[in-house]
Structure 1
Amino acid sequence: MDEEGHEGVGEQEPLESKRYLRYLQKLREKSFMQVTIWTAALLVGCAAVLFARLITASQALFFSLFHGHPYLMTAATPLLFVAATLIVHKFGPEARGSGIPQVLEAIDRAHGDDKQEPPWHSPLVSLRTAVVKVISSCVGIIAGASIGREGPTVQISASVFAFFGRMTRRVLPQVDFQTFLTAGAAAGVAAAFNAPLAGIAFALEEVTEGAFGRFREMVMLAVILSGIAAMAIAGNYLYFGHPAVTLTPNLLVPETLIFGVVGGIMGGAFARLLAFPELFGLPPQPWKRALYCGIICAAVGLLTDGVSAGSGYEVTRSFLESSSIEQWPVGLGIAKFVTTVISYLSGMAGGIFSPCLSIGAGFGFTVAKLLHLQNFKVCGLLGMVGFFSGAIQAPLTAVIIIMEMTDEHTLIIPFLLAAYLSRRIGKVFMPVPLYRFLASKNRKG
């Protein structure tokens, strides 16, 4: 009996030892993954700040040169457009445009695990592509192009995470590369806008839209209608109070409807123009196409005293912080619309996130000025939400970005309603969301 008992104990000891070793192995793998993600995320934050400062310096250089020598800078703009485009064409074609469609394509490839071109070796999210992205974007900004840094930041961020994903696969071959790319894209949005929740919303709406996309509209509509009913009865209040903030006295229904409709129409038209560049009949040669686009942007820039160039951040912020709309140039929203479309079609690197917000604010300020609306700042913010949602068809991302950047949480119901309307109208122009459409178009060649 004792011998059998000792044998049983002897069998249990190796079994317990194996379980303990497996536990230690899993713990080591989990710790290694966490340290890798933390390191990549910290580097992305640093890279986003550095890139933002490079873009700011490039934009300051453009304005300095333009205001000092306007005609000389106007003449140089088409040549700089050609330079920015050829840098992409020669050294990294995957760096063209915003960069978000390329990231979505890389994530789709990682999901399919393409054996012919493994996603972890894809040039869509390589460090070489990230470097080309930075250089071309800076040259484009110096040229006076209407481009932003947020889309490029997403591709740069995904490239950094992809690099760490490749390194991780050497130690943990079973690692999910799609997770690295998704985390990188979300981190890029969060770092670019200093809006962490927007990064999460972007990952849900654009990157993993499958299941979320199916119930998004139902959830939004339920939230909007219940919120309107509650606010109509109890007013716009904060649950625990916030004495430093003046709450919106009404639901802003007329303004919200106006900018939901205007944003949907203009945003949808904007997306369709970017999706189908053949509508413009531009020449196929990269240098010639960039030259033509540069000439158009230079002419518009000269007419607007250079204000149509760059991301539009400075002029938008200045009017959001001003006390009057009287000095707002009525045609600036349209001018920004034109130069952003043309800059994107040139073939250089450059995003459309911040130009979309500036265009939307421009339409908001213009409507407020023409209709003599007192709350022009609210109109500018509603214009941002409406145009961005109509163009990109990511309504929650639009709402959260504006709320996090402006701290206007009391306007959440008007924001949601404008975003919902503009997305519904935008889908008439572009049934498939712009970034998804461009990613699919890139995949088909």
Structure 2
Amino acid sequence: MPAHAASYYAASSHPQPDFPSLQGAHTADVCVVGGGFSGLNTAIELAERGLSVILLEARRIGWGASGRNGGQLIRGVGHGVEQFAPVIGSEGVRQLKLMGLEAVEIVRQRVERHGIQCDLKWGYCDLANKPAQLQGFAEDLEELHSLGYRHELQLLQADEMHSVVGSDRYVGGLIDRGSGHLHPLNLALGEAAVARQLGVQLFEDSTVTRIDYGPQVTVHTATGQVQAKFLVLGCNAYLNDLNAELGGKVLPAGSYIIATEPLSEEQARQLLPQDMAVCDQRVALDYYRLSADRRLLFGGACHYSGRDPQDIGAYMRPKMLKVFPQLANVRIDYQWGGMIGIGANRLPQIGRLKEHPNVFHAQAYSGHGVNATHLAGRLLAEAISGQHGGGFELFAKVPHITFPGGRHLRSPLLALGMLWHRLKELV
């Protein structure tokens, strides 16, 4: 059975059952490819609506970004959704923003309803590196109030920042009590258990080798096949060559995390006095939080080059020390990375294939995957089961370009573009 990445999450996860690999011929209403948050939540939502579901995972449940991300559960989907007003109108933009709030509530309800033990803790703070960003937070606060956001928000000035983070690096912040952080792999494992209880058949170590499209879709692995009325592709950055049309619209980008040794209560309180998750606003952003056993989990440094650092710890530690020089003598116990899916316009790609309308997909969460995947699962299930809430159609209306340069050149080209954005930050 394939192993998880050697992360803090894998080392501290609940016992994980081994699901069988696919053997022989099977049929279902829906075949879901991908055992991360997108696939698991689509499967749950479909099963709750009475459809039979088979889920295929190439490695292990939660193996990809779902099981090794920063664990930050933050409101919102997409970046700058106002840009889509010419396509979906101002009311459509407002609906996208409301769905960005609903996405977090879906996670909250799933965890509470099923008693999933994933260290879920509420409290998050956006960090401003420049005064203009703090002004942007003030505008965000007003907009969230106008959307009827029911959770506590608080704008912080520079002299109040030590109440949230023990660093002099920031000029302000926006506290959001309706966002938070959790153990992502344990959430994925808990959701796999929910799916199984609902009758979903889950298969691991079952890489899809070929898809035969048509009114009935046939999905092949090395040792079996699934025939289904509908197919859902939820592979995101790990889609590889499974579907060329979708693969050209999502760029795998590397993101990296280090975990310190467990800190004393005093050390932890000094770094993050309110035990919030936090994130700054730079292009190569820093995001960090405390684990349940008081380790600092420090992540960021999104890489578009397609090449991982040779030594993730050596690469990330200086970034951590710029924020917290007081950790100079603290040991790094874990270091890991993984791929997140980036789309050109930074809006999740939720839709169906034009040539094959019984094939649905969700990908390109651009760093907001913990909440957006759960929203995607609900929207896909509504569309497949014939419900018409409108959310799926809204996402499907937004066009998504194919990255230029083909498979081998699109990563270097985007890396050059992101370097330009980073240079702009220095001006």
Larger helix percent: 1
TM-score w.r.t. the length of structure 2 is 0.26
Q: TM-score, normalised by structure 1?
A: 0.26
